[in-house]
Structure 1
Amino acid sequence: MPEYRIDDLARAAGTTTRNVRAYQERGLLPPPVGRDGRASIYDDSHLERLRLVDALLQRGFTTAHIADFITSWETGKDLSEVLGLQHAVTAAWAKDESFEVPRELVGAILGPQVDELVDRLGELKLARVEGDTVVFPDTQLLAAFAELHEYGLELRTLLDIHGRVADRIDDIARTMITAAKQHIIDQRGPGWLPETTPEIAETTAMLNKMRELATASVHATLARSLDATLHRELGDYLATAADRNPHKNPS
């Protein structure tokens, strides 16, 4: 299991060291799992808890409300099931394969429009600036951009394409998560929280299955759509080519 010092934990959760300490003082965050010299050591359970706290704060809950939720979940319940529910709700499915590049090197790669392009990458959550360093969280996607750029496609164009695709994926994600929430409301009523270990396990499993369905649906549907669209567009393109070069048309 990965280990984090407090600064690393705050950075991974998108918060501040000050907040981490405050949450721990208020009982929202478990104690560190150990120490490395004078530094406290945290693990992925702390990262997931921070993400859960942040999600609830963004929904308008106070730290007192969140403390009550956490206490009610943990009192008399199997800790592994509680963490399982947290994991289902807050764990990131996107793989973080980030790497850091000095800002001056990014400028040498992207050219004179580096500031505009880095800002656009930031808007799409494909980069973040940390001092004199630019962090790229998705190396695979960035590699695809670089490979397509070698064919003459401008990075700005590729980012616009990605942005349009991402907007549609966001719509799909909202559809799936809204369906899961509505199912819980229909079955249990608004504001219901699992109280028993079986309820926590069942809710965790349902949320995980919904995520798996969303991923499989997008992958399969996109693959079929790409095949059909490619065939259609290729046919139209060849028809245009035939009209443009009638002397090459056998008929």
Structure 2
Amino acid sequence: MEELAREAGITVRTLRFYRERKLIPPPRREGRIAWYDDHHLARLRTIAALLERGHTLTGIAELAEALDHGRDVADLLGINPTEEEPVRLTPEELAARFEGEVTPENLAAALDLGYLGTDGDEIVHISRRLLDVSSALVREGIPLAEVLAAGARVREHVDQLAEMFAELVLRHAEEKDLQRLRPLARSVVEAEMSLAMDRQLQKREKSGAEDRL
């Protein structure tokens, strides 16, 4: 316990308090010896980052309790599991996906967005598509912190789009039709996004050509 507290930069008293609040899972025991590992250290660093971002210990404890006791992550985060496929990763696999970018601050941001949760010794990403895209962007040289910040901004807009389509359906159909018409709404958004990207590319190509002239 003293070694773990020292590595995490906290006091043993604070660590005991976190254990009592069930913010970290219990250690592995061999007789009278309690073994802590990198998973406990990672959790403590994430707690520190969440506290720095203004989260309360009560809120962190509720999230930790729900995840550590096997509650379905998709249900916890409010995502329909038939739409997005959660991905289970070890901390080492997550680190390999985002080399050098898995910092406490980025983990806290991902938790804020609902992208990540923990289930025992595993980390759960709520969407395989988002995981693949974000790791691809990082491989292209875009810092993970900026990818997560962009994700937060995108969410604001897509929430507005979802609300608009929901109101449209409810004006002309019934609430039960929302799920059935969901693929149509998604197709409209994807098509408009594709057209918008085309316009942006053409705009930048034209601007670059004018600059060369």
* TM-score interval for Structure 1 and Structure 2 normalised by the shorter chain: 0.5 to 0.7
Number of aligned positions between the proteins: 144
SS of 2:114 mapped into structure 1:
coil
Partner of 1:207: 178
Provide closer, same or farther for how the CA distance between residues 153 and 128 of structure 1 changes in structure 2, counting only shifts above 3 A: same
Q: 2:114 aligns with which of 120, 125, 137?
A: 125
Amino acid at match of 1:115: P
Partner of 1:181: 170
Give deviations 1:178-216, integer Å, cap 9, x for gaps.
2333446xxxxxxxxxxxxxxxxx764x32443133112
Provide closer, same or farther for how the CA distance between residues 135 and 148 of structure 1 changes in structure 2, counting only shifts above 3 A: same
Q: 1:13 aligns with which of 69, 75, 88?
A: 75
Distance in 1 (alpha carbons) for counterparts of 2:134 and 2:175:
38
Pairwise CA distance, 1:169? 0.7
Is 1:99 matched with 2:161? no
Give deviations 1:119-158, integer Å, cap 9, x for gaps.
1111222111334432112223222222222222111111
- Give the conservation status (yes or no) of the 8 Å contact 2:86–2:124: no
Distance in 2 (alpha carbons) for counterparts of 1:136 and 1:213:
26
Amino acid at match of 1:223: S
Distance in 2 (alpha carbons) for counterparts of 1:212 and 1:11:
23
5 Å matches for 1:227-242?
Answer: 227-240=198-211, 242=212
Amino acid at match of 1:170: D
Provide closer, same or farther for how the CA distance between residues 208 and 150 of structure 1 changes in structure 2, counting only shifts above 3 A: closer
Give deviations 1:97-125, integer Å, cap 9, x for gaps.
412223x6645755486111111111222
Partner of 2:131: 142
Deviates further, 109-118 or 157-166: 109-118
Distance in 1 (alpha carbons) for counterparts of 2:74 and 2:102:
29
Partner of 2:154: 165
Rg bigger for which structure? 1
The RMSD of aligned alpha carbons is 3.1
Distance in 2 (alpha carbons) for counterparts of 1:113 and 1:203:
41
Structure 2: any 5+ residue segments left out of the alignment? Answer: 1-68
Q: TM-score, normalised by structure 2?
A: 0.55
Distance in 1 (alpha carbons) for counterparts of 2:151 and 2:206:
25
